Structure 1
Amino acid sequence: MPSNPLRTKRMAAALAAVAIVAGTLASAPASASAASPPAVTTTLAALSADGAHLAVDIRRTEYGIPHILANNYPSLGYGYGYAFAQDNICVMADRMLTVSGDRSRFLGPTATVDDPLTGPTTNLESDLYYQSVRQSGLVQRLLAQPAPLGPTAQVRQLVDGYVAGYNRYLRDTGVAHLPDATCRGQAWVRPITAQDLWDNLLDVDRIAGSAQFKATIADAVPPAPGTTGMTGTSGTAAPHNAPALSTILASTVQAKNQNLGSNGWALGKDATVGHDGMLLANPHYPWAGYGRFYQVQLTIPGVIDVTGASLYGSPVVEIGHTGGLAWTHTVSTANRFTLYQLALAPGDPTSYLVDGKAVPMTRQNVSVTVRGTDGKLSTVVRTLYSTKYGPVLANNWNASSAFALDDANADNLRSMNEWLAMDTSQNLDQLHRAQNTYQAIPFVNTIATDTAGTASYSDAGVVPNVSDAEAARCIDTPAGRQAYPDTFILDGSTSTCAWGTDPDAITPGIFGPSHYPHLTRSDFVANSNNSAWLTNPAAPITGYGAIYGDIATERSLRTRLGLTMIGQRLAGTDGLGAPGFTLGDLQTVELNDRDLSGEMARGAVVAMCEANPVLTADDGTRVDVGAACSALASWDGRGDAGSHGDVLWRALFSRLDGSSAQPSWWRVPFDPAHPVTTPGGFTADDPNVQHALADVVQRFTATHTPVDAAPGDVQKWDGVPLNGCSGEEGCFDVVESSATAGQNSSIADGAFGSSFIMTVELTPSGPHARTILTYSESSNPSSPHYTDQTVLFSHKQWVTERFSEAEIYADPQLRSTILVG
């Protein structure tokens, strides 16, 4: 849009200290006296009335946190896309290259794409998968549906605005002048389309399903006539040296249970000193790549006012709070997909039998543009195969049998509807209405509270409708029985094993809201990635099917520590004063870095090694463990950056936790009547424990690692020492990293764990919150917001949230940018 002097003159009074020329932008310091909140709102209204299609005010407070103010959804998305691009253009450009299926075109087919959420693949495998989605027209068909199955008008406007804002930043800055050298001048940094963003949103919804199987979908090729292949899980053959099905299932279960995680607490009026609602959000996600969170506030006066964080490329807030509601998510144990074992038609490995009739597989010829080592482009065409259940996998496909994937989120593009509805909710009733209307959350539980002081937990998401009765009837193969209950492998040869449908389900094949595991309390609900059962020990949740998770089984040490800390705070036995939570108590408990395995077992191990200062390693070597024993004896039992001895303990417990020497290292077995305190009584005198300690000391000696090393010595982020330890050893504030990790390191060498941490209290006078974005807002090493919050996190300091307009404009560091398009 060209410059318009008349408009500039008309708007001068309302703009006060913020200068604007239509079609350009200007940034200036803002203050309560220079540009009051009403003046800026008036400015946006006047700009919109004066013909500006897009008008937004991007206010940045301390640590570069953007507060996006607009008068409509297209402008809100415009501001969000622009602000995000300012901070993370290179990560986003790389991600868009992936979901568009163009990595091989620019980077060659054999290079590895290191996906932080689903694992590595080659560029060609990645491109074949994403091009198969794009060339199928699936996204266009989903977009053609009206809401609630298709996106709402507001979500569509946010997406279109976000794309326009991202592209505006790229156009104004220029690829050759990008501030981040990681992608400056690279040909693969391009304007994005709405299709790119929708592909990204669909892919995130598929994280717990199809996205985990990209390579094995792309590599699926029918066996050659007369070949038998190698033996896999089911006792049948797997062609082409594809990984055995058991390997794929193990990696998928690992991704579901370990690579993503979280802690989430909702505290009700009976658990808080102020008798209001409080929330702890503590997602555990990768620190590098597109699986990071971005902190933002989105405001249209009188329409939406929400603050929190969302995964890269999302135009809505996914974890956060409004004036009256706060919520977070934890990764659910529910299976979001099933496999089907196919009986193939005799003599035709590309047809499968259903109810005795042969059904031809669907074939899709997928083309990918590939850059050769000589720089020349060519086209690779591969045929991918699919069934009524979903795509065929490369693993264990032989002349008589194959496996197909049925992903409940394969066509779920409505999650943005639900999150946007949550972003405008002010109480739990409105939240639950959003959940029941869209039924779209892809792979997480929801923990929430409101100003009434009610706490809510629900696994209200997309889950295949497979009852326990159907599982008992349809899991009838060696592969299925071996994989169950971690993965459901159903009999694909009979139509009676198709997914069921609930009357209240939005689409066929998934459970409706009447089947969701849920709990509402006035004291608390909590989840740390175990199943719904022990959300509150006073009211265990039962009655849900095995596909949602287990019941009355041993909980993880991290879950037990979380419930222990809540119980101690409510009893006032944790040294923090009288019973009940304050916001300060919640912050202290979150970052206390207690190590439950150390509290339970360290004493027994120290007694053992003090009595036996020389132990035998597995290879028969006699190892002096005296110094290590002293380090463990003097360790403070925590995972603080300066907790000397914790690194040794982590290595020992990890070694034992991964051992198959015996099923448990505890003398007292698990008791479902005492699930928070059992099992217990560590068996330090077991020879395998002694061997493990000797082996760990040997390894430390070989790597020149001091036995009294502290977490801050070995885990850093761009040089910043980090607190935190592993969930397996029973730490709540999970952080794992290498000593040289940084935001542009490879995923394998990066960090994982606490990411966007939020504590919020919903008071009658408004929400009060403290937050930490552990890796900071920007992935650009030259940005002042590259590690500024990382330093805060290292020192256990918090950002005092600015939610109201008065709080935003009281920030002396506030900078305001008016953007018109």
Structure 2
Amino acid sequence: MRTLHRISAVALLSLAITACSDSSDSNGPAEPPVEPPVPPPVEPVFSAEIRRTEYGIPHIKADNWGSLGYGYGYAYAQDNYCVTMREVALASGRWAELTGDGIDNDFLWRYINGTRDEFSENFYVKLPQRDRDLIDGFAAGMSRYLDETGTDALPEGEAGCRNEPWVYAFDGIDLMMYLRKIALQASTDQGIVRDAILRVQGPDAMQTASAAQLGVRAGLAQDLLAMGRAIRPTEVGSNAIAAGRDATQDGGGLLLGNPHQPWNGSGRWYEAHLTIPGEYDAAGASLQGLPWIGIGFTRDVAWTHTVDYATRFTLYEVRLNPDDPMQYEYDGEMRDITATTVQAQQLQEDGSLETLERTFYSTQYGLVIDLAGVNPALGGWPTAAGTLMTMRDGNLDTGLRSLQQWVEKAQATNMEEYRTALRYIGNPVFHEFAADRHGNMFYGQISAVPHVDQAKLDECLNGIGGLIAAVTTNALIGLDGSRSDCEWGEDADSPEGTNLFGLEAHPQILGTGTAGNSNNSYWLTDATMPLEGFPFVFGWMGHEGNQQFLRTRITHSMIADRLAGEDELSETPLFDADTLKRLMYSNRVHAAELVLDDVLQICADYLNSPDADPANGPMLTETCEVLGNWDRRVNVDSRGAQVFTEFWSGIRDEYGSQFQNVVVSDEFWAVDFDPARPITTPAGIDTDIAANRDLVIDKLLYAYQRLNEAGVPLDAPWGEVQFLERNNEQVPIHGGAGTMGVFGAISASLQEGGYKNPRAGNSYIQVVSWDESECPIADTMLTHSQSVRPDSDHYADQSRLYAEKRWVRFPFCEQDIQAAQIGETLIIEE
């Protein structure tokens, strides 16, 4: 047990005076010493209890929100301090001051967040007191860790920060700047958006685009396609299945959470259990540096998310005043463009600091952007059409509401209370899934979506913005900024001042059946009862009537088979925790289930054909023999998964949709996509078309060559080919590319020796159920393990469990925590 007591300066001074008094005063008998008043005990600002259970999971208990944050910040810092420290420094607008690099990033965040004083006044003080207390405490806990450890003893290595110039003690204002930055990852903080903002130099420095370029410049369509792809995050995804009493064997609720997050950096998960007795008691996982449970469970409720590809921001095209490039037209009148100059410091080689300036320009909608980096025909001040592009971001203030929403979700005791907590619209980018012990389940596409209904889309998509929307299949939309009719609207229950859709307008299900999502839109969350009639801003990825991901299709196929008891998981229909865990680790490859029989037949026909190129014979013989013997899974002992992985990658290169992450072709599929049968179509290869047969042979040879060049045997066990390197140990990793219909998605690229060190994929996994006791039953797995520190016992321990398809029973109730505790209880105070 470790405590920290601080004695006040008054008490120290009193003790010093007493110690220095002379009791042999020659002026007379010594007066009895005057006892100094005993100061009242100093109440610590923060006091928290930290216990750790197996695999390094901290359980923090405190009596108030500040202390809870303090204990959590300290425990988290012991494992991953440097990860969040880097992000805090980046969000502060001080990176160039501290390192000499990244001045453009600093300018942007100095504009968005302002100085510390401006951010505090305009954003931080608007947070509820509870939220500020939690954030302040978390920052203080992290800074205490730094104070005790010292910069020269911080972790080293790729994820370390020993003696880095960007390490400093920070407070809640600094931390909140980072938390706001996270909320903007799908909008203002996307790379293509940042680039468009920073390209703007003002009317005096920018050229007017040539009118002849607009819409006719070679490559414009392809450049727009590339822009659309760039706004879709490639390293995040997720699966979720929520089941109510009609779908479970015991009549209780059941939830699978399977986010596919990065395995490095701020997107990693961190497991914890946070408790204020009688007020808050939640366990699960948080993203790095977030002082609340992001995905998790309580005594009564469990919840998870999947990444939701709805619209987060819209472009607005404004017509410039031909006589004044700093004015634009709005409802027939001219309005001024605002110029705002910010300052940032940059470290020079001699150690001095130079103050630099950058001017940003904005309209009533938001920042002016320049898309010349996408294509010159879209840039200029003005564009060739005499316009400017600006953007409005629906997530600029979401951070003010996020913590309120997540705390109240964890305080809910049933699905209606959980749903009520979502009224804040504090969720920046996720579908919501939840289940409770009473046998209810909930799904909601309830995230920050600009209030742009279908009528407004039909009326206001024109000009450059309309062209962008058409080419990117609405991945990006641009509205007419010259008319008030095209402004975002609002609902009666929209959060005040946001112009976002309110809770009741979002697609949602509150029921007792099943819901599942694998990052397509809300449309087929319950495949038996599609949600329809919503504008595409609620989900342009896999919108109503569109072809779905292979991962979406296998999700709903597995749900249907389980409900009917027609799978290999159990002869008993419906779900229980065991069948849900086995489904999670089933590692089927849906693309192979759809096409491999045809592929093998095409290969056999080719090898038996007198017209076959004899030079291809040995390569195809080996390749197809391996595929024929493959079990069509991506388990660690599956042999041949690497061949199909590269083959399907080649097919996707040929026919992959630019945006929807599906294979689209009028000729490739034997059964074309049918909106009335979206789970079972498209399917098979049309082997009657010679071009398809030639394509299959070409991509089989492509797979052989790719693997041969990488030194990867075609029939090596998958666990020897895909692995995580930890302290010279190769930890086998099962799962595979989600793009080929693997539910348990793993993102890893082929390199010399195999698919090393996955970038993202299965991360924090939880299966939560309940019985008649007060304790939730939570089996979890953190695939990348808890700590980024190579010297930690928890650097790879759960990764090894994952390789063996095992689970960790997360202790929630007191007796279970005591049974699983490792090490001593730590009491920290300040």
- TM-score grouping bracket, smaller chain normalisation: 0.7 to 0.9
Relative to structure 1, the CA distance from residue 600 to residue 480 in structure 2 (aligned partners, 3 Å threshold; closer, same or farther) is closer
Aligned partner of 1:38 in structure 2 is: none
Relative to structure 1, the CA distance from residue 589 to residue 348 in structure 2 (aligned partners, 3 Å threshold; closer, same or farther) is same
Which stretches in structure 1 are left out of the alignment for 5+ residues?
A: 1-17, 25-47, 110-122, 742-746
Shift of 1:52: 2.4
Relative to structure 1, the CA distance from residue 227 to residue 73 in structure 2 (aligned partners, 3 Å threshold; closer, same or farther) is closer
* Counterparts of residues 113-132 of structure 1 (less than 5 Å): 123-132=102-111
Q: Deviations over 1:407-433 (max 9, x none)?
A: 111122211110011121121121111
1:636 corresponds to which of 631, 634, 648: 631
Aligned partner of 1:737 in structure 2 is: 748
Aligned partner of 2:177 in structure 1 is: 199
CA distance in 2, matches of 1:703, 1:615: 30
Opposite residue 486 of structure 2, the aligned amino acid is C
Aligned partner of 1:756 in structure 2 is: 764
* Counterparts of residues 342-421 of structure 1 (less than 5 Å): 342-373=318-349, 375-395=351-371, 396-398=378-380, 399=382, 400-413=386-399, 414-421=401-408
Shift of 1:469: 0.6
Aligned partner of 1:11 in structure 2 is: none
* Counterparts of residues 389-468 of structure 1 (less than 5 Å): 389-395=365-371, 396-398=378-380, 399=382, 400-413=386-399, 414-436=401-423, 438-468=424-454
Shift of 1:485: 2.1
TM-score normalised to the size of structure 2? 0.86
CA distance in 2, matches of 1:316, 1:695: 47
CA distance in 2, matches of 1:667, 1:681: 5
1:788 corresponds to which of 791, 797, 810: 797
CA distance in 2, matches of 1:583, 1:610: 43
2:479 corresponds to which of 490, 513, 517: 490
Corresponding position: 1:595 with 2:589: yes
Aligned partner of 2:710 in structure 1 is: 703
The 3-state SS of whatever aligns with 1:641 is coil
Pair member with larger Rg: 2
* Counterparts of residues 148-547 of structure 1 (less than 5 Å): 150-181=126-157, 182-212=160-190, 213-222=193-202, 224=204, 227-229=207-209, 235=215, 247-252=226-231, 254-255=232-233, 258-373=234-349, 375-395=351-371, 396-398=378-380, 399=382, 400-413=386-399, 414-436=401-423, 438-477=424-463, 478-507=467-496, 508-547=498-537
* Counterparts of residues 665-704 of structure 1 (less than 5 Å): 665-683=668-686, 686=692, 687-704=694-711
CA distance in 1, matches of 2:100, 2:757: 23
CA distance in 2, matches of 1:281, 1:79: 26
CA distance in 2, matches of 1:615, 1:220: 61
Shift of 1:231: 8.6
Shift of 1:22: 2.7
Relative to structure 1, the CA distance from residue 359 to residue 714 in structure 2 (aligned partners, 3 Å threshold; closer, same or farther) is farther
Opposite residue 725 of structure 1, the aligned amino acid is G
TM-score normalised to the size of structure 1? 0.87
Opposite residue 494 of structure 1, the aligned amino acid is R
Q: Deviations over 1:50-81 (max 9, x none)?
A: 72221111100001000001111111000010
Shift of 1:566: 1.3
Q: Deviations over 1:218-255 (max 9, x none)?
A: 232235578345799963999xx9x9665433300x22
Which stretches in structure 2 are left out of the alignment for 5+ residues?
A: 8-39, 372-377, 657-663
Opposite residue 588 of structure 1, the aligned amino acid is R
Shift of 1:820: 0.9
Shift of 1:177: 1.5
> Contact 2:124–2:176 at 8 Å: present in 1 too?
no
Aligned partner of 1:85 in structure 2 is: 77
The 3-state SS of whatever aligns with 2:684 is strand
Aligned partner of 1:554 in structure 2 is: 547
Corresponding position: 1:582 with 2:570: no
Opposite residue 392 of structure 2, the aligned amino acid is D
> Contact 1:151–1:416 at 8 Å: present in 2 too?
no
CA distance in 1, matches of 2:212, 2:403: 39
> Contact 1:142–1:411 at 8 Å: present in 2 too?
no
Relative to structure 1, the CA distance from residue 497 to residue 710 in structure 2 (aligned partners, 3 Å threshold; closer, same or farther) is farther
Aligned partner of 2:26 in structure 1 is: none
The 3-state SS of whatever aligns with 2:255 is strand
Corresponding position: 1:102 with 2:94: yes
Shift of 1:605: 0.6
The 3-state SS of whatever aligns with 1:659 is helix
CA RMSD in angstroms, aligned pairs only = 2.9
> Contact 2:750–2:756 at 8 Å: present in 1 too?
no
Relative to structure 1, the CA distance from residue 217 to residue 233 in structure 2 (aligned partners, 3 Å threshold; closer, same or farther) is farther
Shift of 1:740: 8.3
Aligned partner of 1:13 in structure 2 is: none
Segment of structure 1 superposing worse, 211-220 or 582-591: 211-220
CA distance in 2, matches of 1:346, 1:646: 61
CA distance in 2, matches of 1:230, 1:752: 43
Aligned partner of 2:23 in structure 1 is: none
> Contact 2:203–2:326 at 8 Å: present in 1 too?
no
Relative to structure 1, the CA distance from residue 484 to residue 633 in structure 2 (aligned partners, 3 Å threshold; closer, same or farther) is closer
> Contact 2:224–2:472 at 8 Å: present in 1 too?
no
Relative to structure 1, the CA distance from residue 226 to residue 568 in structure 2 (aligned partners, 3 Å threshold; closer, same or farther) is closer
> Contact 2:749–2:756 at 8 Å: present in 1 too?
no
The 3-state SS of whatever aligns with 2:680 is coil
Opposite residue 243 of structure 2, the aligned amino acid is L
Corresponding position: 1:135 with 2:114: yes
CA distance in 1, matches of 2:213, 2:530: 35
Relative to structure 1, the CA distance from residue 233 to residue 591 in structure 2 (aligned partners, 3 Å threshold; closer, same or farther) is farther
Shift of 1:49: 9.2
The 3-state SS of whatever aligns with 1:185 is coil
Segment of structure 1 superposing worse, 754-763 or 356-365: 356-365
The 3-state SS of whatever aligns with 2:274 is strand
CA distance in 1, matches of 2:321, 2:140: 51
> Contact 2:132–2:172 at 8 Å: present in 1 too?
no
Opposite residue 545 of structure 2, the aligned amino acid is A
Relative to structure 1, the CA distance from residue 666 to residue 375 in structure 2 (aligned partners, 3 Å threshold; closer, same or farther) is farther
Q: Deviations over 1:674-697 (max 9, x none)?
A: 222111122356122332222232
CA distance in 1, matches of 2:361, 2:756: 31
Segment of structure 1 superposing worse, 586-595 or 368-377: 368-377
Q: Deviations over 1:277-304 (max 9, x none)?
A: 0100000111110111111100111111
Opposite residue 172 of structure 1, the aligned amino acid is E
Opposite residue 43 of structure 2, the aligned amino acid is G
CA distance in 2, matches of 1:202, 1:261: 21
Opposite residue 250 of structure 1, the aligned amino acid is R
Opposite residue 64 of structure 1, the aligned amino acid is G
Aligned partner of 1:604 in structure 2 is: 598
Q: How many residue pairs were aligned?
A: 752
Relative to structure 1, the CA distance from residue 226 to residue 288 in structure 2 (aligned partners, 3 Å threshold; closer, same or farther) is closer
Relative to structure 1, the CA distance from residue 21 to residue 546 in structure 2 (aligned partners, 3 Å threshold; closer, same or farther) is closer
The 3-state SS of whatever aligns with 1:733 is coil
CA distance in 2, matches of 1:531, 1:226: 39
CA distance in 2, matches of 1:233, 1:320: 52
Shift of 1:311: 0.9
Corresponding position: 1:721 with 2:732: yes
Opposite residue 720 of structure 2, the aligned amino acid is D
Percent identical among aligned pairs is: 34
CA distance in 1, matches of 2:758, 2:211: 36
Runs of 4+ in 1 over 6 A off after TM superposition: 230-233
The 3-state SS of whatever aligns with 2:247 is coil
CA distance in 1, matches of 2:277, 2:147: 29
The 3-state SS of whatever aligns with 2:369 is coil
Relative to structure 1, the CA distance from residue 625 to residue 614 in structure 2 (aligned partners, 3 Å threshold; closer, same or farther) is farther
CA distance in 1, matches of 2:217, 2:425: 39
Shift of 1:347: 5.0
